[in-house]
Each structure stands twice: as structure tokens, then as C-alpha cells.
Structure 1
């Protein structure tokens, strides 16, 4: 006589079968994904705990755990042929197995963390003899990027497609760009037959890709676009030209024994560092009239091997003497030229790195640093030089810094064959989220990048190899 199994027991066994199917489905999914990471994502046939594809270690834990759990539940209903042959129980198991794949995939996305993949790119430069010089990111919502190479300027629109081109003059090569582009006008410097930068400059309207004016100079010269003025330092003179018209507004003499080594500015103030014999000084001038606002001697006693204006407001200048024990620091000044602190290039906590270039955000200088083999990023106050925060990156090498959306700074790092993009809070240095893996990013040793919301990022290669795409963009991707 057959005794009918009570309903609660039948329901329990059907539920066990369904859960077993769900666990087995997710375990199989994870096994397939583990194999995909091994075959497609691992650059070599082996990896260690910190070089395996992200998520691989967690998959290695979850696959056997889910398999064991499914096996234990199966052992409870294996002998119950009635439950296994029941079509309602089978239907329920199939539905649960399919439904379990969605949370299983979500779990995989969590294991993998943020990922970015190449969305579009341009073919490498031709002819291969041309070399990249620099890049501009004009203001405005268009997302346009202008990349300079020795033979021309090339604009790319917000989708990475080529826009206008502006060729260099005959027998001239682009050698430098102004750091800023006020009113979407930039200054291009050229070298001629002599390999000395600054024999000629041009003003370029970046919105239309046309030359506004050109001027021949006595090289070497340095130039900057400051407010509505093109400020140019050539041998014996500092000149102010109307940025759009090229008409000379003012001219002030530079002593014959002095050489301008760095020039930049913002608003109505231009700053320049000049070397005079073994002494150096920094001078601020009004870009509207050329009148000197202030002049301050720098704490140096030997010729400078490096000078760079990092910020015009607050004023920050990086200088390095040729003397072994000479000044090598970021010097800070107030609006009247009075010294108010410094950040040594090699301090008790860490060493400042000159490359990649630091980022100025408000009153903070955000710069790559190194302490032994450990890399990181630190923010220093431009008002007194104290360290505000530090973000360590361990074994990862810091390869790039860029201002991101409001309140963020983007950091590109690399370790072995992996590259990452990390977003830090400007005020605290805390990570906004886990670093995003830059999948197969064709990055060289020198590049610029422009992160934006919600995760989209444009990269511009400035590598001299000529084998990499000049520009490419990366978008967030999930899981796979």
C-alpha cells in the first residue's frame, strides 16, 4: 500500500530541488567565467595574487563553495525519484535556475569591480616621422581636444572624430604650446632651421581652426596666453600683444645678462622667472599695461636647471639649481610677492616627482610622490606648504594626473600589465570608488587624459613611438 507523502514534505523537497538547480546554475556560470578570465584576460599562463585578473580569486572561492552546497542539497533528494520526476518540481527548478543567473551575474560584476573598455580610437600618426608635442582642451561643452604634432594641429570632436587641421608653416616645426587657452585662443611656438624653439609664434582660434596672426621673434623665446594678452619673452624684451589681433600693447626691457626661463599667468597677471648670472628672481606684471606689480629674488646662488610656474594664483613656482645642495623646491608667494613657504622636492616624508605633471585645484597642489618603492599622490597647501593629505598606491606606479568633474582628481596608475583609473576627492584624498581597470588601454609613457561624468574618459597619447593611437576614449563596462 502506497502512502502519499505529506504536502509540506513534498513542497520542501521541491524547494530543495529548485535551490540545488539555482546553486548549480550559478556555479556553472562562475566556472565558465573563470575559464574566460584564464583564457582571454590573463596576459601570461600564470599569475600571482596581485596580478591575476580582478575577480579571479573570488571566483576560485565561490565555484567550489557553490558546488559543495549544491551537492549537499542534491544528496538529500537524490533518492527521491518521485520529486525528481515531478513535472511541477522540474518546472520550478528550471525557473529558479534561470532566475538565479541574474543575481549570479550581479555577483560577478561586484567581484570584477569597475571596468572600462576602449570605445573608439584613431589610427596612429602618419607619416611616422612626425612627433606629438602637446594637447589643448578648450573650454566649452563640445568636448573638443586639439593635439599638436610637429607638422600640424589636429582637432578631434567630442566623439573622437577628426575635425579641423592647421598645418605648420613651411620649414617650421611646432615645438611648444601655451599652457592655457583663454577665450579659446592658444599660442603655438615654432622652431625653424635652427633647433631653437620660439623663432616664430602664431595665435590660433581653436573654435574655427584658423590662424589669427603670426610674429617672428629672436629665439629662444617663451610665450603664454594670459587673459586677453599674449605675453612673449624674447632676447632683451618682454612684450604684450593683443591676443586676438596681435597688436603690440606694451614692451618692457629685460636686462641683457638675464634670460627668462619660465612664463605663465592668469587673469590680468603674468609671472616670469629670469636667471641673471648666478641670481634668479620672479616678477609679476600687469598684462594690460606691462607695469611691474612686484619682483622678488629667489633663494638661489647658482644657475637654475629647471624653472616652472605651477600656479599664478596662489603663486607657486618650482625651481631647481644646478648646485648639488642648491634649492630644489616648490616656492610659494602671496599676491604681493612675499615668500610664504615652500615644499621641498625631497622632504622627510616623501619625494616630489616632476612627471607626470602636478594638478592645481584651488589652493592645493596635487602631485605624484614617491617614498622608496611606494608610489602615491599628495596634496600640499599653496598658502603655507604643509601636506593636506596623502593617497598611497603601494606597488602601483602613478602615470598620470588630471582634474576631473567638480571635486575630483583622476589618477592613472599601472602595475605589471594592468592599468587603473582612480578618482580621488580633492579635499580629502579619499577614493570615490574602487579603481577602474582600463582594459587593453593603448597608453604610452606620456599622455594626457580628461575624465568626466559618469565615468567616460578621453586619452591623448603624447608618446614618441608613433605606434599608438593619437586619441581614444574609454567607457564603463560591466562584468564581462
Structure 2
């Protein structure tokens, strides 16, 4: 009895049933998958550069479905013929072994399903991701040469300020406009505080043909101008020239660091600079005001020294000063973080300091992270024409605990495709990871650091270029990604603004021109 069962299982008929069941299942599976691939909705987010790419391998899958079908038909035809023609008792045993053949066919189908689907995924490429649709969006109506100068959250609204001085607040619940305001005639926005405070935003204005000599405070609840401060000797058009925190507006002036009352504009205190010195960048939070001061060499204007100083926000008293490792003028300097203190320095000297510098709370130098290397270039600060985009701005660098997370590119590529994490305490590289798309930048949210990538997909069935954004949370310790979400019509190259406001994620594009086909502001459900 036992030997008869073994012979039955190993017989050609059983193997034919096994083969027939497997190929029949594969044929049916590949017919469905080929149809699904070849009729894929081109309106979904896909593209050759994205992991969420358009499906491929459709015709190969269809051909394999036909071949599997032929093999299945042939296997079952041969099996049926053999069972109708008894040979050496094989056919005669059919009534007693039909359950063996049936079981073999079902087993073959079951065994073939998983590897068949895995093989299909290899043929097809990345699995498509349907992008999240916007809950609402603001129609792109910007003039061609005008983009976003500032974007600030305020309660359940988000405020966008254009470079031409037009400002509007949008309710995050439905996108309706709460208020709008315009700058004086022939006035452009030339500076913006990185973050709002107590419902106030700080802007710099300049008239056509003039310099950035005016600072105004905007009530973000009404859009009204609270006060205006003029200084003909100042120029606030650079990065980190004005800052705002609860109870204090801080300005970089030729005389020193000036503090004003944020609601009235009345002077609070002035920290004067030494003769031949002037602040080049300022930043502030509730606990301290920080500034970089540069002192030119009186005998050689191509040489000079720079220092980082911190001041008490109550009265401007200097707490400490730390010399920076520079000897020539600073082409670019700005604050990546105030608490903890991380500074980006780009010295004029080609062989000078081009690095991120971190400090302890009492001013001791911690780490130097070079931003240029033979194979990697690290972006440190947003460009001057797209800075001041709010407290959740998309920037090239964020600090998360003891990790400095940077976007990186190769020297011959002006778009970053990599993330690199460095230790804030000693500067060594912790991890590096390549991204799916082009990196727009990084932002710090309540849930941790988040990378914003963008995809520009060539025209498909609709005949127009499509834009998508993908966000992914980044583990600062390992660099691993989680909670990836794709958003439709929501991204472009360049820094923008992204953050959670009023129970939604809000994205403000750096440009919202009609020619780009992108809304200026979009809101999405929080997942």
C-alpha cells in the first residue's frame, strides 16, 4: 500500500498535474498583472527618476501569460490522453488516484503563486504610489518673476508673503483667505525673519533702485503694519540680518546689534560693536541673542577676524565671545541653529574655512564639518532670493539632537540626491543615504526631521509636465526613512515651506507662477 502511494506521487501523471496547475495559475495571474500594468493610470505619480516609477514589463508579462497558458493546456491535454489510454495499469488506476492528481494540480498552483508574483515585480519595476490629493490649493497667480519671500504659521492660518509685497493669510481648514495686504507702491520685500513670534512677522522693504533700509512688523492676525523702522546706513538684504523672538525684534546694524519691542518698535537696547567691527548675522530665541561680528584689518582690507558672541535678551549684555577660525572676509555666514548653536561659514579665502561649526552652550568649539570635498558638496544655507521662509522652512541643513543632517551633492551636480548625518559633538560622519528623487530640502517638525523630495515627470497621456513631492521622516541616529507620503502638484526645485498648521500639512511653493503650473499654497490631510 505504501509503495503504491509513493509510485502514484512520483508518476508522470502526478508531475503533469503539478506542472499544469502551476502554469495555469501563472497564466491567469500574468493575464491580470499584464492588464493592470498596460492600463496603468498615467495620472498617478510616476517617472523614470522616481522609485514610484511608471510600470514597465507589461508586454513581457503578457507574453509570459501566453506561454504559461500554452504549457498548462499541453500538460492537461497530455494528462487527459494518458488517463483515457490505460498502459500497464496506469490509466486503470485513475478512479483510485484522481484525488492525487487533483491535489497535485492545486499544490502546483499554490507553489507557483508567490514566486510568480515576485518575478513580476522584478519585471515591472517599482510599485506605483497614488499621490495624496490636496484638500485645497491656492490658484497660482504670481507674476512670472515673483516668488515667495516669507511663509509663517499663525494659529489656524498660514501667511504667505510674495517678493512684490503682496501678503495673504489662508485658513488651513478650507483655504479661504482671512486677509490680504500690500506693501507701499514701488516697494519690494528684501528680507524676512526666519520665524514669527506672538502673532508678529518681520519683513525688510526696499524701494526700486534703493537698498534694504526699512524693517516693518506685520500683525499676522489682521495683516496690519504695526510699526516701521528706518536706518539709511543699514542693509538688511542678506541672510540672518533680522530676527524675531517672543518679546524682542533683533536687527543687524552698522552700529551693532539693535533690539526693538516687537509690537511697538521702540528701542530696547543696543549692543555696540567695537571700532572697525560690525555684526554680519544675527539670530535669537527666548534664551539668547547670537551674532557674528567681523572686524576688518585696518591695514589690509583683505584680512580680518570674526567672532561668535551671545547676548542676554533682557539688556544686550555680552555673555561670551568665541573666535572663529577665519582670517579673511566672510562671503556667507548664517545660523543653522540657535539652540544648540550651529553656524555655517563660507570664508572668502578659497583655502579658508568652508564648514559647519558647532559650539557648546558656553561658547567652546565642538566640531568642524567641512562643506566641500573632492566628491561631496554640502549645502548649508538657502539662497538669498528664497530665504526667510518661516520656522518650518525647507532648509539644506537641520539639527536634530546631536546629529547635523545635511543635503549633499556631487561637485558637478547642482541638485542634491543624498542625505548625510554628522555628529554635532565631534563632526564625524554617522551615516549617508541616497534618496529617490531630487532633494528640495529638510525641515524640522514635531515628529522629527523630515526630508522633502520633488519629482518633475515628463508629459504623459495628459501632455503636461507633472510635479510631485515626497516627504519622509528621517531617523537622526541611523538615517533610516519612515512614513513616506507622496503629494500631487506639490513640489518644485528650490526651498519652500512645509509644516503642520491647524490639523493639516501645508506646503508653500517657493514659486507659484501660472507658467510653472503649480499652486502657490496647498494643504493635505495629516497621516
TM-score (norm 2): 0.69
Q: Flag structure 1 segments of 5+ consecutive residues without an equivalent.
A: 1-15, 81-99
Shift of 1:303: 0.8
Aligned to 2:520: 470
Q: Deviations over 1:5-56 (max 9, x none)?
A: xxxxxxxxxxx9999998777545433332334976799xxx97x6797362
Q: Choose 236-245 or 222-231, whichever is displaced more.
A: 236-245
Aligned to 2:13: none
Q: Flag structure 2 segments of 5+ consecutive residues without an equivalent.
A: 1-18, 81-112, 297-303, 383-394, 459-466
Q: Is the 8 A contact 1:272 1:284 kept in 2?
A: yes
CA distance in 2, matches of 1:452, 1:180: 14
Aligned to 2:430: 388
Aligned to 2:284: 265
CA distance in 1, matches of 2:455, 2:432: 18
User: Taking structure 1 as reference, are residues 383 and 466 closer, same or farther at Cα in structure 2, changes over 3 Å only?
Assistant: farther
| Correspondence 1:445-464 to 2 at 5 A | 445-450=493-498, 457-463=505-511
Q: Is the 8 A contact 1:359 1:402 kept in 2?
A: yes
Q: 1:32 aligned to 2:31?
A: no
Aligned to 2:130: 115
Higher RCO structure (Cα 8 Å, ≥6 apart): 2
Among candidates 345, 348, 370, match of residue 319 of structure 1? 345
Pairs aligned (count): 432
Q: Is the 8 A contact 1:316 1:330 kept in 2?
A: yes
| Correspondence 1:4-403 to 2 at 5 A | 27-37=30-40, 54=53, 56-57=55-56, 59=58, 62-73=61-72, 112-119=127-134, 120-128=136-144, 130-138=146-154, 140=155, 142=156, 144-158=158-172, 159-197=174-212, 199-218=213-232, 219-221=234-236, 222-255=241-274, 257-277=276-296, 278-347=304-373, 350-354=376-380, 357-371=396-410, 375-393=417-435, 396-403=437-444
Shift of 1:125: 2.6
CA distance in 2, matches of 1:156, 1:18: 60
Q: Is the 8 A contact 2:366 2:425 kept in 1?
A: yes
User: Taking structure 1 as reference, are residues 466 and 259 closer, same or farther at Cα in structure 2, changes over 3 Å only?
Assistant: farther
User: Taking structure 1 as reference, are residues 364 and 227 closer, same or farther at Cα in structure 2, changes over 3 Å only?
Assistant: farther
User: Taking structure 1 as reference, are residues 132 and 322 closer, same or farther at Cα in structure 2, changes over 3 Å only?
Assistant: same
Q: Is the 8 A contact 2:20 2:71 kept in 1?
A: no
User: Taking structure 1 as reference, are residues 124 and 419 closer, same or farther at Cα in structure 2, changes over 3 Å only?
Assistant: closer
Shift of 1:121: 2.9
CA distance in 2, matches of 1:427, 1:40: 36
Aligned to 1:94: none
CA distance in 1, matches of 2:430, 2:132: 33
Give the structure with higher Rg (CA). 2
Q: Is the 8 A contact 2:378 2:407 kept in 1?
A: yes
| Correspondence 1:376-455 to 2 at 5 A | 376-393=418-435, 396-414=437-455, 417=458, 421-423=470-472, 424-432=474-482, 441=489, 443-450=491-498
